[in-house]
């Protein structure tokens, strides 16, 4: 039997979260955290709603996943993220010792890879899953913002 649970399946779920952010007028970034093919945490960017620069999707999902697991380390977890994490979120992922991250669109300006931020040595990285869909939602958001101003 072919499992329906692959990286694309879970990235679609992260993209659904990004769409929730979009509908709230937030920069549309979404996240899910998965363990054994089960989603244990979701998150979407809430920096405007909460008036808080730390309220990125990843930060909320790290806290939620740790709460679900009852421990602060995200061993055997994979985080699916629609956009390459920034240096803050990559720093948080470092501390979480998460096993794997998968992201969609790259962020050459604000992404963690630009400045050499370190992830944990235990963390595997996959990039470019549904890159176009994840990037298109962001582009749509910024075009709309520009036209409103």
Least distance CB 35 / its own copies (angstroms): 16
State yes or no: residue 99 binds its own copies (CB under 8 A): no
The verdict on whether residue 56 carries a ligand-binding annotation is yes
The verdict on whether residue 44 carries a ligand-binding annotation is no
State yes or no: residue 144 binds its own copies (CB under 8 A): no
Least distance CB 17 / its own copies (angstroms): 18
Q: Which member of 51, 109, 147, 149 binds its own copies (CB under 8 A)?
A: 51
The verdict on whether residue 86 carries a ligand-binding annotation is yes
Instruction: Write out the two tokens for 67.
Output: 């709460």
- 17 annotated active-site: no
Cβ contact 105:131 at 8 Å:
yes
Q: Which member of 6, 23, 37, 52 binds its own copies (CB under 8 A)?
A: 52
Q: Which member of 23, 24, 25, 54 binds its own copies (CB under 8 A)?
A: 54
SS3 track for the chain: CCCCCCHHHHHHHHHHHHHHHHHCCCCCCEEEEEECCEEEEEEECCHHHHCCCCCCHHHHHHHHHHHHHCCCCCCCCEEEEEECCEHHHHHHHHHHCCCEEEEEECCCCCECCCCCCCCCCCCEEEECCCHHHHHHHHHHHHHHHHHHC
Least distance CB 113 / its own copies (angstroms): 11
The residue ranges that bind its own copies (CB under 8 A) are 47, 51-54, 59, 62-63, 66-67, 70-73, 86-92, 94-96, 115-118
Active site residues: 58
């Amino acid at each position: 039997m072919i499992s329906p649970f692959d990286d694309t399946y879970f990235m679609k779920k992260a993209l659904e979260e990004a769409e929730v952010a979009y509908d709230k007028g937030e920069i549309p970034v979404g996240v899910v955290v998965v363990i054994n093919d089960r989603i244990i945490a979701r998150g979407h960017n809430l920096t405007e709603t909460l008036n808080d620069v730390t309220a990125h999707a990843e930060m909320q999902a790290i806290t939620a996943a740790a709460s679900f697991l009852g421990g602060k380390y995200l061993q055997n977890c994979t985080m699916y993220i629609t956009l390459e994490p920034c240096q803050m979120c990559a720093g948080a992922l470092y501390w979480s010792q998460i096993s794997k991250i998968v992201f969609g669109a790259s962020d050459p300006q604000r992404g963690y890879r630009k400045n050499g931020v370190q992830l944990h040595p235990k963390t595997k990285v996959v990039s470019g899953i549904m890159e176009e869909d994840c990037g298109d939602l962001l582009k749509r958001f910024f075009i709309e913002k520009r036209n409103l101003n």
